[in-house]
Structure 1
Amino acid sequence: MKTDLNVVTLILTLLIFGCPLPAIVMAFKIDERTLAEWLDKAGEHARRVQDHLVCQGQLDLGQVQADELWCRSQRGVVWVATAISVASRLLLWGSVASGRTEAMIAEVVQHVHRAARLQSPILWATDGFATWKGQILRFFRSTVLSGRPGRPRLVEWAELHIVQVVKRTYGQRIERRLAFGDLFEALHMIEVTQGKRGTVNTAFVERLNATLRTWLPALTRRSRHAGTDAQRLERRFFLTAVAYNFVRPHRSLRVQVDGRWVERTPGMVAGLTDHPWTIEELLRFQVPPLHTAA
């Protein structure tokens, strides 16, 4: 890259945590197109890291909250769908699209399905957007063999539950409802992941989205640093997402061990790593190549 690794790491660290691009250009006298190329390469690498470490089908996710946010880009409005595991605060996946489309929701649900341990109990909490329920029921199914010829029947997971939080625009009314599964089991999972005062809500994913808006200026609704297009915004999103999962400790996840506080990242709580990463560790992480059949 014809640039010292320490300089690249420092600049990417500043960009990941919300430093405006023009400030980097002025401070380091590096062309804006060069910085954009670095972000594209690092973001594509971060996407592979996220897919390799998180979406391996080994996680007991418990309660998953999902939501969408939108922002303005230089080419119109862009939507971002995200999903988070409440217990570990792990950002599971995100998808960027030019509209609030079914394909965007399907990509998020599919990757959460890949991350979840097979047939493990899972509670989905979403807003009132009906596409979430449809895609969850589409992916969280298993085949039931009957011994008869023909295509086997698909049945939803026995421990799958879906709750919805519908916010009305009149009267400041919030409706909480069970969309699928068993209400008693859903409330029990909420108590396990949120505590006895927990309730049906999407507060954790909304807090995540607020963090993403802080770290990623392009996600701010009124910003002078709007993203250029959905593809580039998606790369920057995954770079921020991996830093959120593995680099920066989360205040609510710290625990007291032998009289001292131990800072933990969502990746540590989920059992994916045993220490907070540095940005250099993230950039140097080697994702095994995909093995394709000859």
Structure 2
Amino acid sequence: MKTDAELVTLVLTLLIFGCPIPAVVMAFKLDERTLADWISKAGEHAQRVQEHLVCQGQLDLGQVQADELWCRTQRGVVWIATAMSVASRLLIWGKAASGRTDDLISEVVEYVHRAARIQSPILWATDGFGTWKTHILRFFRTTLLTGRQGRPPLVHWAELHIVQVVKRTYRDTIERRLAFGDLFESLYLIEDSQGKRGTINTAFVERLNATLRTWLPALTRRSRHAGSDQAQLQGHFFLVAVAYNFIRPHRSLNTHVDGRLVKRTPGMVAGLTDHPWTVKELLHFRLPPPQQAA
């Protein structure tokens, strides 16, 4: 790139944490198309960093909450589905699409499956959208070897549980129900991740969605920048996702060690890093080369 690296880092820092693009354009005398190119390239890198660090089948996720949010752009409505681990507040994966479709939910569930340690206890908490349950049951299965001829059967993980929070606005009621698994084990996983006062809810992923709306201006109003293009919005989303996981400490995760306050990010709590990153560290993170197909 033909621009000073410090300027690129500063501009991307502002864009990651919610600064509107018109303000950056006026402050630094840059073209909107230049910013779009920077977001695209940095977002592609951030997506590969997220996949490399998070989705390697090494995490005990415990309770996972998943939800969808939408925004209205000049090219129509765009949906974003997200999933996070409650105990560490780690944003596992997200996907933008033009509709609330099977493909949208399927990709998010697939990447959560990639992140989860095989056969580890996992509780999914979702809204009443039945597609979540369909794809969770499709991905979280293993092959049962019986020694008999023919295709071996697939069985669901022994410690897989699904709960749903169904909100009925016309009745102004909320129904909390067990959709799959064991209620006692589900309540244990909820208490382990939320504390003794925990209950079946999607409050944590809804807070995540509120953070995304704060950091991504395209999700709050009609705009002529990232929200107008689905691929651009996807790249900007992953920049925000990696910043959420590895750069900005979360107050609820802070702890004291030897009388000293230690600020922690979701990535630190999940054991993926030992310190809060900077935007410069993210942009210079070296990824291993892609594996060649045999």
Query: So what's the TM-score if we normalise by structure 2?
Result: 0.98
Distance in 2, Cα, partners of 1:111 & 1:226: 24
Query: Per-residue deviation at 1:72?
Result: 1.1
Query: Per-residue deviation at 1:292?
Result: 2.0
Unaligned runs of 5+ in 1: none
| Matching residue of 1:67 | 67
Q: Name the CA shift for 1:35/1:226 in 2 (closer, same or farther; >3 Å).
A: closer
2:178 maps to 1:184: no
Distance in 1, Cα, partners of 2:102 & 2:292: 29
Unaligned runs of 5+ in 2: none
2:155 maps to 1:150: no
Q: CA RMSD in A?
A: 1.0
Report 1:1-294 matches (<5 A): 1-221=1-221, 227-294=227-294
State the one-letter code of the partner of 2:62: G
Distance in 2, Cα, partners of 1:25 & 1:209: 27
8 Å CA contact 2:74, 2:222 repeated in 1: no
Query: Per-residue deviation at 1:221?
Result: 4.4
Distance in 2, Cα, partners of 1:226 & 1:28: 18
Distance in 1, Cα, partners of 2:68 & 2:158: 27
Identical residues among aligned pairs (%): 78
State the one-letter code of the partner of 2:20: P
Q: Name the CA shift for 1:95/1:190 in 2 (closer, same or farther; >3 Å).
A: same
Q: Secondary structure at the match of 2:99?
A: coil
Q: Secondary structure at the match of 1:167?
A: strand
CA deviations on 1:90-132 (whole Å, 9 max, x unpaired) are 0000011000000000000000000000000000000000000
Q: Secondary structure at the match of 2:227?
A: coil
CA deviations on 1:200-247 (whole Å, 9 max, x unpaired) are 000000000000000000111466766122111101000100000000
Q: Secondary structure at the match of 1:124?
A: strand
Moved over 4 A (4+): 221-226
8 Å CA contact 1:20, 1:225 repeated in 2: no
State the one-letter code of the partner of 1:95: K
Distance in 1, Cα, partners of 2:222 & 2:208: 19
8 Å CA contact 2:125, 2:164 repeated in 1: yes
8 Å CA contact 1:81, 1:94 repeated in 2: yes
8 Å CA contact 1:219, 1:226 repeated in 2: no
